[in-house]
Structure 1
Amino acid sequence: MLAGRLADRALGAAAALREGTGGGTAVRLGVDAAVPADGEHVADAVAAALDARGAAVLRVRARDWLRPRSVRLAAGPRDAATAWTSEVDHLGLLREVLDPLGPGGAGTWLPALWDEAADRAVRAPRRTAPVGSVLVLDGPYLLRWETADALDLVVHLLVSDAAVHRRLGGDAAVRRTGAWAIYREETDPAPRADVVLRAEDLRRPALVLGDAPSAWA
Structure 2
Amino acid sequence: MDAREKILDAATELLARASAADVSTRAVCEAAGVGAPMLYRLFGDKAGLLAAVVDRGFEQYLASKRAARPSADPVADLKRGWDNHMRFALDHPNHYRLMYSPELATPPAAAKEAHALLHGVLERCAAAGLLTVPPEAATRVVMAANVGAALSMLTRPEQYPDIRFAARLRDSVIDSLTSPADTGEPHDTGRGGAVPAAAATLAARLRAEPPQRLTVVEAALLQQWLGTLADSGEPTA
Measured against the shorter chain, the TM-score band is under 0.3
- TM-score, structure 1 normalization: 0.26
Structure number with the bigger relative contact order (C-alpha 8 A, sep ≥ 6) is 1
- TM-score, structure 2 normalization: 0.24
Largest Rg, 1 or 2? 2
- Kindly indicate which of the two structures has a greater share of residues assigned to strand: 1
